[in-house]
Amino acid sequence: MRPDPRRLIEHLDRARSARRWDRLTTQIGSMPLSRLRGVLNEARTLRTRLTVIIAAGEARLDWGRPDAAPPDLPAGTDWGWRPLCLTSRISPDGVAAPASGTRLGSEVAVWHDCSHRALILRQIRRDRAADRPPFALQLETLGFSGSFLSLASTCRPGPSSRRRAAKNTGSRRPRQSREPCRNRAPRHSRA
């Protein structure tokens, strides 16, 4: 069986990137500060992306265990989603006295108007095997004096936004989605 050339190129590209980061690691002590700032920004961006990949992969492996059940979905549901902070370990796993807009992981942010920032937000592991999802968020308020407190999650796109629209040629009608008509413009009939 012949090796896939795309996989070989990807492997060589990852190996070259690893050698570059190894070389940068040895150069940190003598690097000019202006270049060091750029390298640190690039490293932080890479770390964020790698954290997402690791968390998603670990979550998939956890759900792939024989004793792990898929998430309970309501009848008629086509797909389900939970933020990574509920399905796998994230880093950092907690923040104390967060400013408004501080993110926990890549998908959850806490918003508030408390001047003292008397909050602790952290991820905890749920103890029982029957608990779904395996992780939870715990929010402690210590004399909260603000007027609002909100946790916001970034949602990944659902299946309908990833589907390509069917081409409407001749008298054929476009294929209709089986998903609810959320955020969809009304359809107009042809005359």
Pairing of strands 108-112, 149-153: antiparallel
Give the mean pLDDT of the chain.
75
Q: What's the pLDDT at 170?
A: 43
Contacts of 147 (CB under 8 A, 6+ apart): 113
Q: CB-based burial of residue 71 (10 Å sphere; 0-12 exposed, 13-18 middle, 19+ buried)?
A: middle
- The candidate with the shortest Cα–Cα distance to 136, out of 81, 74, 89, 102, is 89
Is-contact 137 86, C-beta < 8 A? yes
> pTM for the complete prediction?
0.49
Tell me which H or E stretch contains 149: strand 149-153
Tens digit of pLDDT for each residue in 25-66? 999 999 999 999 999 999 989 888 888 788 777 767 765 554
